[in-house]
Structure 1
Amino acid sequence: MTTAGSLVDVPGTKVGHAHDPRAWTGCTAIVWEKGALCSVDVRGSAPGTRETDLLDPTCLVDRVHAVCLSGGSGFGLDAATGVAAYLEERGIGADVGYGIVPIVPAAVLFDLSVGDPKVRPDKAMGYAAASRATDAPVQEGNVGAGCGASVGKIGGFAKAMKSGLGSASVRLPGGLVIGAVVAVNALGEVRDPATREVLAGPLNPDGLLEDSHELLIRQPFSFTGVPKGTNTTLAVVASNANLTKAELKKVAEMTHDGFARTIYPVHTMYDGDAVFAASTGGVDASVDVVGAVSAQVVAEAIARAVRSAESGGGLPAHRDLKNVRQGDGSKP
C-alpha cells in the first residue's frame, strides 16, 4: 500500500494553519462544513482537550464541524473558540433552535519550551486557521500545530530535535479514501515505519542519535529534566466510510497502532497522545479495514512530520543529520 497525498483527499475535508514563526507556536483547523461523524481515543496520560467527552458513543452529539489541534499547552485550547466563531459566522454548526452552535473538539500539545512561552494560540489565531481552511494539499513541517513541535526529549530538552506536522492519505479499491494529519511532539524517538531507521530522537553532545531504550532503562524511576505533560502527539484520521460513532471509536483505538510503530516510547505519563477519527460517509467499508489502514496512514504521516521539519528554536531537524553517522538506536 502506497501512502501519498494528504488529509484533504477525504471528500468534504478542509485544513487550515495559522502560526507565529517567531514565537514557535501555532494551530491547525480541520473543517467539515457539512459535519462529520467523529469519536476520539486518548492514550497519553497528560492530555489537554476540549469537548472530547461528547465524542463518546453513548453521548448525544454525533457530528462535529471541526477539530482544532493547537500548541500552547492548556492556553492553546482558546484557539478552538476562534474556529467556532468563524464557523458560526457562516452558519455552520448544530441548529439548537436559538442559533447555530459549531461543535469543535480540540487538543493541545506543549511547545512553550521552544519559542516564546508568553505567546500562545488564541481565539484570533484559531479564527485565522479556520478562515484559511482549504482542500489544497496540506502544508507540512513547521506549520500550524507543528510549528513548535519537538521530539526526543527522553534525555532532557537539551537533547531534543525539531519535529513538525505531517499528512498522508491512501485510496483503496471501491472508492475508500483514508487520510490523516499529525502534529508530532513526542517524548521519545521517531522511526521510519518501513525501515525502522531512527529519523529523530535524543542527541548526544557529538550530535549523534542516542539509543532511547538505553536512556529509558537508565532512568527507572523518572525521566530527568522532563516536566510532566510536556509532550503530546495529536492525530486526526478521516475517511469517507459509512461508519457509526461507535465504529469510529474503534477506528481511533486501532489508529494508535500507528503511533506505536513509529514512536518509542509512546503513551507515557509525560505524553497526552490523542487520535480523533472522523467519517464523511459515502462508501461502505469494514471498520476493521478502516482501522488497520488508518494506523498505516498515521504512521506515514508521523514520519513525514519529522522529515519535513526544519531546524528552529535552537533545535536541529532530521534533514540536518543526513550526513551524520547515526548511533545503533535499535530497539529490543
Structure 2
Amino acid sequence: MKIAFVGKGGSGKTTLSSLFIRHLAAHDAPVVAVDADINQHLGAALGLAEEEAAALPALGAHLPLIKEYLRGSNPRIASADTMIKTTPPGAGSRLLRVDEDNPVYEACARTVLLDGRPVRLMATGPFTEADLGVACYHSKVGAVELCLNHLVDGPDEYVVVDMTAGSDSFASGLFTRFDVTFLVAEPTRKGVSVYRQYKEYARDFGVTLKVVGNKVQSTDDIEFLQDEVGEDLLVTFGHSDWVRAMEKGRPAAFELLEASNRLGLESLRSAADESYAYRDWRRYTEQMVHFHLRNAESWGNAKTGVDLAAQVDPDFVLRESPLHEGSVSPRPNRLQPSPQPA
C-alpha cells in the first residue's frame, strides 16, 4: 500500500514518517521509503550520517533509466523521450514491485538497516544551485509520480513517502497515488490550516485523509484538534525521550520507544491496511489517466512534439498481480480516457 505524510513545515512530518517506517520494519514488513521533501531530511531521521544522506542517489538524475525501464515493450510509447511524469502504464510496460530487485532500485535506492532490518530508501534529491531560477521542485518529484504510477503493491508491503511541506503536492496528480494520507498537525491554528487546504483540494478525488496530532501536551490540545478536524483525527503523539535521543544522533533500540507511541504507530498501520482493503484499482487507473491528459494538453504535447493522449491504453487497469515484467491485469472492463476525475 502507498502512504503519504504531509503537513506544515516544522510539524514533525519527517520524524513521524521515519518512526512509522521503523515500526513497519520492526514487524518485518517490506518497505520502500521515499524522501520527496525539498529539505531531504528522511535519511538522517532514519539514522544515516550527514555524508551518507548526501550520497543518496537522486531519482531525478536517473530519469532516463527509469523511463527506459518502465517503457518496456509498450507499443504506445515510441521512445523514453516521449514519457512524462504522468505517463501511465499499458500492455508491455514494466511494473515495479515493492519486494523485488530491478534496475530502478539498483540505481536509485539504497538499503538502510533499522535495528538489523532492511528498508529501501529513495530520494528525489535536493534543490541544487543549478535549479535556481530555472526549475521548480515539482520537476524533481515527477520521478516519484512516474514510479508510483508503475508500481503494483500488495497487502502487507508498504511504500511510505515523506512529501514536501504544505499544500505544494497539489501541483501534480501525485496526491491521488496514496491509499491514505497522514496529515501531521500541531494543535495550533497554523497547524490545522494545511489540513483545511488539503481537505478542500482533495474533496473531489476520494483521497483518504487522516490527521495525526503531534506535539500534543494536554487534553486541551486534543480537544482543540477534535474541534478543528472532527472525525478526521486519528491519533495524537506527545513528547518522546526516544525521539529526542534520535535527534541528537543517539537513538536507542526501537523496541524501547514509549509504549504509547508504539500504539500510536500501530494505529497508523491499521488505518493504512484498512484503506488499502478498499482500494478501487479501476478508479486509481482512471485518475492516473485524468492527470496525464491534463498534463499532455497543458504542456506535455508541446514539449515532446507528440500527442501524449495516444499513450493511454484504454484496456489496461493496473491491479495487484503475481506477474512481474510487462504484467497487465485481466481486461473485463474497458477504460475510457476521460478528462474528468473519477
TM-score class normalised by the smaller sequence = under 0.3
Larger fraction in strand: 1
CA radius of gyration, larger in:
2
Q: TM-score, normalised by structure 1?
A: 0.25
Q: TM-score, normalised by structure 2?
A: 0.24
Larger fraction in helix: 2
